[in-house]
Structure 1
Amino acid sequence: MTDLNKNISSRKSPSGASSLRIIVAGGGTGGHIFPAIAIANAIKQTRPDTQFLFVGAKGKMEIDKVPQAGYKIEGLDIAGFERGSLIKNISLPYKLVKSFIQVSNIFKRFKPDAVIGVGGYSSFPVLRYAQRKGIPTFIHESNSFAGKSNILLGKNATKIFVAGERMEKFFPADKIVITGNPVRKSIMESTASKAAALSFFGLDPNKKTILAVGGSLGARSINKVLARHISELGPLNLQLIWQTGKTTADLYIQASKNNPCVWVGDFIQEMDKAYAAADVVISRSGAMAVAELCIAKKAVVFVPFPFAAEDHQTANAKHLVNRNAALMVKDEEAQAKLFPTVTNLIFNDKKIRALEHNIAKLAVTDAADMIAIKILNALNP
């Protein structure tokens, strides 16, 4: 333990208690949940007695994933704005009021010293309530285009942790700290061998392996391409680890039934093993996917989600493509170009090595630790 960590770990919480009590709010996707868990883990590494309570939205993936990481979570009756259906938004004011009542009760029971928000609509009532009560609030924004909840909350936040530069258009400049994006500990510290990982997925160690992930919610364009070409994997001596997302998982599981070249599921819990098994990855290019792939040092073909705010996924992918650290296929061109791009790459060992070498240079390995130290120092100056 460093002298700084020794100093921090000996301090009391702002409320005078011997241990800190921190609420972590937000979720909806893995891109919000996994950084939140990484930050909590980093704080506990320095202050092991810290007590955490996560708060998310009922029915969303954080309700399952957070307890799997060893933390308690409470769910709010809240929903986001449905752009495609005004009828579905009729109950939003009621749900928002109800969520503030639920948050008030949570705060009375848990008595937090601080609140960390990671984005997603469930973070809004939690941080807004904390700010009204004068409780320090911290925001982590993983994307280059900030989410609406974080933008609204930023002006009253204690500190705002961001992945990169030029975020002053969203947040007060004096509150911004550039840290990069925290990555799951299992990926950061992975020791999985390729042979063991392939065995875990029940695949052949003598075949080249494609890993396809469309984010925790899946990617329709990627899934359609794979379903159309799945019968070609065997003749090409290829195999596939396929995370479909929940929406149409049953359809794709059925499509690959009894195919020994394919492992398919709606979500991959053991992503460290999936990365270790893969020769080439197909992925969306959200901020957290990019951060993980840099850490995992994988050759990747990005298919950016075209409807992301300000098309920031395309910007994320181009940042790597321009450094010869990844390839990119546009979503609208995926049906024609994705499969041949991937198969050409997977048989080009020289190109794979070059992409792996260059993407590794972009890895940020200390984001969670940096955020943890900044939060603890702000709470105990």
Structure 2
Amino acid sequence: MANYRFILSGGGTGGHIYPAIAIANELKARHKEAEFLFVGAKDRMEMEKVPQAGYRIEGLWISGLQRKLTLKNLMFPLKVISSLMKARKIVSRFKPDIVIGTGGYASGPVLRVAGSRKIPYVLQEQNSFAGITNKLLAKKASKIFVAYDGMEQFFPAEKISKTGNPVRAKLVSSESGKETAADFFGLDPNKTIVLIIGGSLGARKINMLIEEKLSYFEKEGVQLIWQCGKLYYEEYKKYDSASVKVFDFLNRMDLTYAAADIIISRAGAGSVSELCIVGKPVLFIPSPNVAEDHQTKNAQALVDKDAALMISEKELQAEFEERFSALLGSPEEMTKLSANIKLLARPEATRRIADEIEKILSSK
């Protein structure tokens, strides 16, 4: 069996990092002697999360362009040159058989270098609206793995493979029950537990909503697992109590999801894919501050199939309590949402991507 060498590159947010780790884990299970190297952006969360998953990572000095004129933008050309130089060294030294890009600025220089050296690379695009890095890299990609229909507007149709998004393997195979999971968090399994996840960095509007509604949740007898995000933890940790558990980041998502009866979440592609597999009632509050409002489109796709609820940020003040109380008071609605969202799950996504990567390797 060939001792393959894989470079995986992507990052900035959990939505880019966890698919890369899931793909690496699947390939590692198939090729025990294979070598893996991740490449990310210095000072971003991948530099912590990838080593936690047991893989080596090297960081590039790279970041995206800001929407307004800033010192960071003036540094951008220098960062690109620096990152391309380092990417050339990494590729020359590691000699990958294939490079896998999962989006984010760090994947640009590495895949660009791979393409210039005729090393095959593949892209994994999580969202319904393709990221700029993946759009720029699409032309030379061997294959592009997507989760949504209609991606021909961004990528060459003949390169697209609709696989769904890879998710953390523990979520697919998790057998944790609510009692064990609630005990892990120090919560009462006989009371309703609501999980709030605003993404790895946090969501200002969702955090403000939860802070404002703490007395409402208490009145309803609801317990909270509140991931407020790294950017906001210092501000909200004071609310940690017997019935409200505040975290900057949650590492044991298998237990987190098992504990939850209802989930309040942003609608990033990675979150949506995981929540379909988890199969719990979900209330989406999409971020409006993303390209082409793609989070609203992600959530709407589930709402149209009676698989989730959605409230826009501008409707929160007027509608949140009424909509949430209606859900809380209707076991029938909760059961229906759970059943319907599970029908949309693609637990085989990671396996299918690994199959396609192996086909490319065998044709080299």
Q: Distance in 2 between matches of 1:128 and 1:339?
A: 49
Deviation at 1:246, TM superposition (A): 1.2
Q: Distance in 1 between matches of 2:115 and 2:73?
A: 26
Deviation at 1:50, TM superposition (A): 1.5
Query: Structure 2 vs 1, CA of residues 359 and 83 (structure 1 numbering), >3 Å: closer, same or farther?
Result: same
Q: Distance in 1 between matches of 2:282 and 2:56?
A: 35
User: Does residue 299 of the first structure (1) align with residue 281 of the second (2)?
Assistant: yes
Q: Distance in 2 between matches of 1:343 and 1:29?
A: 32
User: Does residue 340 of the first structure (1) align with residue 322 of the second (2)?
Assistant: yes
Q: Distance in 1 between matches of 2:325 and 2:250?
A: 23
User: Does residue 288 of the first structure (1) align with residue 249 of the second (2)?
Assistant: no
Alpha-carbon contact 1:304-1:313 (below 8 Å) kept: yes
Q: Please, which moves more after superposition, 333-342 or 207-216?
A: 333-342
Q: Structure 1 vs Structure 2: percent identity of aligned residues?
A: 50
- SS state of the match for residue 186, structure 1? helix
Q: Distance in 2 between matches of 1:182 and 1:339?
A: 34
- SS state of the match for residue 283, structure 2? strand
User: Does residue 315 of the first structure (1) align with residue 297 of the second (2)?
Assistant: yes
Pick the aligned partner of 1:117 from 97, 101, 106.
101
Structure 2 partner of 1:275: 257
Amino acid at match of 1:316: N
Q: Please, which moves more after superposition, 197-206 or 151-160?
A: 197-206
The Cα offsets for residues 74-110 of structure 1, whole Å up to 9 and x where unpaired, read as: 1111111111343321111111111111111111221
Pick the aligned partner of 2:173 from 183, 186, 189.
189
Q: Distance in 1 between matches of 2:68 and 2:214?
A: 33
Q: Distance in 1 between matches of 2:85 and 2:43?
A: 19
Structure 2 partner of 1:63: 47
Structure 1 partner of 2:210: 226
Deviation at 1:234, TM superposition (A): 2.6
TM-score of the pair, normalised by structure 1:
0.93
Alpha-carbon contact 1:56-1:122 (below 8 Å) kept: yes
The Cα offsets for residues 330-367 of structure 1, whole Å up to 9 and x where unpaired, read as: 11112332243223312321110010011010000100
Q: Please, which moves more after superposition, 40-49 or 332-341?
A: 332-341
Q: Distance in 1 between matches of 2:71 and 2:344?
A: 45
Structure 1 partner of 2:92: 108
Mapping of 1:94-105 within 5 angstroms? 94-105=78-89
Structure 2 partner of 1:132: 116
Structure 2 partner of 1:3: none
Amino acid at match of 2:8: V
- For these two proteins, the number of residue pairs brought into alignment is 363
| Unaligned ranges ≥5, structure 2 | none
Q: Over aligned residues, Cα RMSD in angstroms?
A: 1.1
Amino acid at match of 1:353: T
Alpha-carbon contact 1:300-1:326 (below 8 Å) kept: yes
Q: Distance in 2 between matches of 1:117 and 1:378?
A: 15
Deviation at 1:196, TM superposition (A): 0.7
The Cα offsets for residues 261-291 of structure 1, whole Å up to 9 and x where unpaired, read as: 1011111111111111111100011111111
Pick the aligned partner of 1:165 from 120, 124, 149.
149
| Unaligned ranges ≥5, structure 1 | 1-9, 13-18
Mapping of 1:1-381 within 5 angstroms? 10=1, 12=2, 19-254=3-238, 256-257=239-240, 259-381=241-363
Q: Please, which moves more after superposition, 58-67 or 80-89?
A: 80-89
Q: Distance in 1 between matches of 2:35 and 2:57?
A: 12
Amino acid at match of 2:289: F
Alpha-carbon contact 1:142-1:287 (below 8 Å) kept: yes
- SS state of the match for residue 23, structure 2? helix
Alpha-carbon contact 1:43-1:373 (below 8 Å) kept: no
Structure 2 partner of 1:5: none
Q: Distance in 2 between matches of 1:235 and 1:165?
A: 43
Amino acid at match of 1:134: K
Alpha-carbon contact 1:225-1:339 (below 8 Å) kept: no
Amino acid at match of 2:150: R
Q: Distance in 1 between matches of 2:60 and 2:71?
A: 21
TM-score of the pair, normalised by structure 2:
0.97
Alpha-carbon contact 1:279-1:346 (below 8 Å) kept: no
Amino acid at match of 2:301: H
Structure 2 partner of 1:15: none
